[in-house]
Amino acid sequence: MRPETPEDKKLGEGIRVRLTRKEKEHLTERCRKEGYRTISDFGRAKLLRKREIRRIEASQEFAELMSKMDFELNKIGVNLNQIAKKLNTYLGYQLDSEDKRTLNNSYEMLKKCFLLLQKYVDQIP
C-alpha cells in the first residue's frame, strides 16, 4: 500500500483553463520539449516560479561545432600562454610583430566563437 501524502503536499485543488485545440497541442509539445511529465507539472513550474528543469537537445551540427570550437579555443590558449611565458621569462621583453599578429588572430577567433555561441543561445526557448 502506498504511504499517505501529508496534507500540505496533496494536490487536491484544480484550475480549469480553456484552450483551442492548436493551443493545447502547442502546450503539450512545449511540456514534452522542456522535460515536464504533465501539463500540471509545467503549469505549477511556470505559475509558481519553481526551479525549472529544461532538457536541451543538441543537434549533430551543434555538437560538431562545439568540438571544433573546443579545438580552436585550446589553440588560442596555447598561443596566449607562449606569449605570456616570453613576457614573464625575459626581463624587458617587447612584443614582436608575430606576437601582435597572434594576439590579433586570437581576438578575432574569440569574437567568432562568441558570435556562433550567441546564435545558438538565441534559439533556446
Query: Per-residue DSSP letters for 88-110?
Result: HHSTT----HHHHHHHHHHHHHH
> What pLDDT score was predicted for residue 50?
59
The CA distance from 11 to 40, in Å, is 10
Contact by Cβ (8 Å): 38, 31: yes
Length of the chain: 125
Better-scored residue on pLDDT, 96 or 52: 96
pTM of the model: 0.47
Q: Residue 6 has what DSSP assignment?
A: P
pLDDT one-digit tens code per residue, 92-115: 888 889 989 999 999 998 998 888
Contact by Cβ (8 Å): 95, 83: yes
The CA distance from 113 to 81, in Å, is 19
pLDDT at 48 over 90: no
Helices (H) and strands (E) in the chain, counts: 4, 0
Collect all residues with Cβ–Cβ distance below 8 Å to 28 and sequence separation of at least 6: 39
pLDDT one-digit tens code per residue, 74-95: 999 998 999 888 888 887 888 8
